[in-house]
Chain A
Amino acid sequence: MDRIPILKMGRFLLVTIQVDLYDRLATNLEADLVQAVSTTGARGVLIDISALTIVDSFMGRIIGNIGSMAKIMDAETVVVGIQPAVAITLIELGLELKGVHTALNVERGMQLLQEKIGPEDETTDDDSSTE
């Protein structure tokens, strides 16, 4: 079964989608990510879709779902790297990717997550005990 790798980076989970998505792959990612948020106690999820040449309504919905699911598990989701043509198509299709934050690239996405979640200091002790 094909799966998209999920990397843990400090308090965040990092997903870089490098292959064309089909529906099963997207739903697997959704389930894996939510599970990973639970097991790692991650506070943020960063999804890089810069390699995706198309995002249709199903994939858009999965991305939105991931954001909503992570949210109720106390994690913020940022989607980065949306190609201009994909952005145009998504809006014309009628999908606004509600429920997820977006940023232009990975660097800005990381910054946004840091801002959303706040300084690490207060939770350092809890973090080190869980990992």
Chain B
Amino acid sequence: MMIVVLNKDTINISREQDVVVFRNRVKESATKIRMGLVNQTKLITAASELVRNMLRYANGGIVTIEVVSRGRDNGIRLVFADEGPGIKDIPLAMKDGYSTGKSLGLGLPGTKRLVSEFDIKSVVGTGTTVTIIKWNNG
């Protein structure tokens, strides 16, 4: 089924403090489509992980927040695009416990568990784009 974009908003992330503003924007969008509290919390936590990756590895980037619908289901789609170094080995980066930084390595695999749909594309030397969707009922 086709995904229809109902609303679109972009936000620049270049400093740590932008993260708080960004999380609030995501919350506003999720509240608007009456997403339940648990799903909201999962979405915002996933968003927080991805935006930290963007800051840590790529010095920031641009996030697009979209309200989307597919049939009768509404959801939030977030696209994190950066122009950082890219990820060499995506399957490895998606493994629990793997990290090139000093983190626990829960970021990417943990994020995937929290959302309904997860897609990552990366070109070494060009950048990384992560797209997640959280459906209201998913």
Contacts and interface: CB of A to CB of B under 8 A. Distances in A.
Interface string B7-43: 0000000001101100110010000000001101110
Interface string B76-90: 000000000000000
Mostly, the B contact residues are: helix
Contacts, number: 70
Interface in A19-59: 20, 22-24, 53-58
Contact of A23 (B23, B41, B44, B52): B52
A93 interface: yes
B107 interface: yes
A85 interface: yes
Interface in B90-138: 96, 103-104, 106-107, 109-111, 113-114
A105 interface: no
A87 to B, nearest CB: 10
A119 interface: no
A38 B111 CA distance: 36
A41 B55 CA distance: 37
B44 A54 contact: yes
B41 A86 contact: yes
Interface size of B as a range = 20 to 34
Contacts of A57: 49, 103-104, 106-107, 110
Contact of A54 (B16, B41, B107): B41
Interface of A: 20, 22-24, 53-58, 61, 83-86, 88-89, 92-95
Interface of B: 16-17, 19-20, 23-24, 27, 37-38, 40-42, 44-45, 48-49, 52, 96, 103-104, 106-107, 109-111, 113-114
Given A85-B38, A89-B42, A95-B106, 14 more contacts: A20-B20, A53-B41, A54-B23, A54-B44, A54-B48, A85-B40, A85-B41, A89-B41, A89-B45, A92-B110, A93-B110, A93-B111, A94-B113, A95-B104
24 contacts: A20-B23, A20-B24, A22-B16, A22-B17, A23-B19, A24-B16, A54-B41, A56-B45, A56-B48, A57-B103, A58-B103, A85-B38, A85-B40, A86-B41, A92-B110, A92-B113, A92-B114, A93-B49, A93-B106, A93-B113, A94-B96, A94-B110, A94-B113, A95-B104
